[in-house]
């Protein structure tokens, strides 16, 4: 379950290459500075150590700020709450909620991944589709260890303060309701990517390492066009909600290292663009 929750919280990208830049930015205004980093929520063992820009920034920051408390994600209480809300009500099952064509596609993908469809039958469609995506990523070598979990552990070990942009309850609600109202379309959209997921990871990998954004921008422009509601709920609305919280660290002159999913950084609705619009100087750490 920890693997499932970690997957949904962000874009998953990783690499073993080393570039002259990274997905860490310095945000400053009126002599005040914080740092904003792009997170990879699941990584492979060979992706460690992380780029040195992350370590350098973490070491000189007073506060670590993450999307949510990753230390609670595998607690029995959180897992029980997540699974309780992720299940279909009453006698409903995926076979009764989805149309015949979509259900057959789901069955086919379960067979490919050697996952009994019975294990997913009572899950809400969005949760079931995302579970399969998670399992596929695990099969190609990704693990629950990522940028945010790594630095949360480091902060705990070193006694560094950790703070969070969202509550666990908010993220559970976000997860369990994804795709609601257009279940068939969301399941088809998610499962259609499974065959290409390794290729997509290989395209996204260098962008996380060097802070580029062409592939990320292309993919999320596609999401915005095809699934505007998902894009709004998962990305743009949350960015707008986080913006004033991030600004408080600048105003309070606290040396914070804010780490969020890579998808939240780029594009015209991304945090980097929003901060620039508000007059902050945004400079990539090299």
For residues 263-277, give the mean pLDDT. Answer: 95
H/E segment holding residue 190: helix 183-192
Query: Which residues are CB-contacts of 150 (< 8 A; sequence separation ≥ 6)?
Result: 48, 50
Please answer whether residues 5 and 73 qualify as being in contact, where contact means their C-beta atoms are separated by less than 8 angstroms: yes
Domain locations along the chain: 2-284
Task: Give the pLDDT confidence score for residue 158 in this predicted structure.
Answer: 96
pLDDT bin (cut points 50, 70, 90) of residue 134 is confident
Residues 209, 14: Cα–Cα separation, whole Å: 8
Q: Above 50 in pLDDT, residue 12?
A: no
Quote the pLDDT of residue 204: 73
Instruction: Please work out, in degrees rounded to the nearest 5, the angle formed at the alpha carbon of residue 263 by the alpha carbons of 98 and 283.
Output: 175
pTM: 0.87
Q: What is the per-residue pLDDT across 183-197, written as a single tens digit (0 to 9) for each?
A: 999 899 889 888 888
What pLDDT is stored for residue 226 in this prediction? 84
73 Cβ contact list (under 8 Å, min separation 6): 2, 5, 6, 168
The answer to whether 191 and 94 have CB atoms below 8 angstroms apart is no
- The residue to which tokens 């991030």 are assigned: 246
Q: Would you place residue 73 in the very low, low, confident or very high pLDDT band (cuts 50, 70, 90)?
A: confident
For residue 282, the model assigns a pLDDT of: 97
- SS3 of residue 284 by DSSP: strand
Q: How confident is the model at residue 53 (pLDDT cuts 50, 70, 90)?
A: very high
């Amino acid at each position: 379950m920890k693997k499932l929750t970690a997957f949904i919280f962000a874009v998953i990208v990783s690499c073993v290459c080393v570039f002259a830049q990274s997905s860490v930015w310095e945000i400053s205004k009126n002599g005040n500075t914080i740092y904003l980093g792009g997170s990879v929520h699941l990584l492979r063992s060979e992706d460690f150590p992380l780029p040195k820009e992350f370590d350098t920034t973490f070491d000189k920051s007073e506060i670590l700020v993450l999307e949510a408390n990753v230390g609670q994600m595998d607690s029995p209480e959180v897992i029980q709450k997540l699974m309780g809300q992720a299940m279909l009500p009453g006698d409903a099952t995926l076979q009764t909620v989805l149309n015949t064509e979509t259900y057959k596609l789901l069955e086919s993908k379960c067979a490919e991944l050697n996952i009994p469809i019975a294990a997913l039958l009572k899950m809400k469609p969005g949760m079931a589709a995302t579970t399969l995506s998670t399992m596929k990523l695990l099969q190609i070598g990704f693990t629950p260890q990522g940028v945010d979990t790594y630095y949360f552990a480091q902060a705990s070990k070193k006694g560094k303060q950790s703070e969070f942009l969202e509550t666990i309850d908010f993220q559970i609600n976000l997860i369990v309701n994804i795709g609601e109202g257009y279940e068939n379309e969301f399941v088809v959209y998610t499962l259609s990517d499974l065959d290409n997921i390794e290729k997509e990871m290989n395209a996204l990998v260098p962008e996380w390492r060097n802070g580029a954004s062409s592939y990320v921008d292309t993919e999320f422009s596609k999401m915005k066009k095809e699934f505007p509601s998902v894009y709004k709920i998962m990305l743009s609305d949350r960015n707008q909600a986080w913006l004033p919280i991030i600004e408080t660290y600048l105003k309070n002159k606290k040396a914070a290292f804010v780490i969020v999913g890579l998808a939240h950084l780029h594009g015209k609705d991304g945090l980097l663009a929003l901060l620039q619009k508000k007059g902050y100087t945004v400079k990539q750490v090299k």
